[in-house]
Amino acid sequence: MDIIETIKEQIANNTILLYMKGSPNAPQCGFSAKAAQAVMGCGEKFAYVDILQNPEIRANLPKYANWPTFPQLWVAGELVGGSDIMAEMFANGELQTLIKEAAAKAEAAKA
């Protein structure tokens, strides 16, 4: 499968998806740590992709997303942004609302 197709599939199949360096419990950079903390602080389950273990995704996602850096948070198929944007949105409550609404919609769609 083409790597862009893989990326599209990951984004389509995961309501809340964090592309990061490392894992939420063992982040491999400060920005990924900040991002994972913000997303975990929203209290919903989320998927993640460790780009250090997936060099093809690391190389191609910035082109696909038109966003040059990691981490990247995708919610309901839309790119939210990187760690600074996530931290700012978390601080003012926007991230929690966005993630909770997306998770609720996804649950309702399954029912």
- Of 52, 56, 55, 96, nearest to 73 by C-alpha is 96
105 assigned binding-site residue: no
Average pLDDT over every residue of 61-81? 97
> pTM of the full predicted structure?
0.96
Q: Is 21 annotated as a binding residue?
A: yes
83 is in an annotated binding site: yes
- On the 0-12 / 13-18 / 19+ scale of CB atoms within 10 A, 93 is exposed
Q: Does 32 appear as a known binding residue?
A: no
Strands 26-27 and 47-50: unpaired
The answer to whether the annotation marks 70 as part of a ligand binding site is yes
Which domains does the chain possess? Answer: 3-102 (3.40.30.10)
Looking at the chain, the whole-number percentage of residues with pLDDT higher than 70 is 100
pLDDT in tens, 26-53: 999 999 999 999 999 999 999 999 999 9
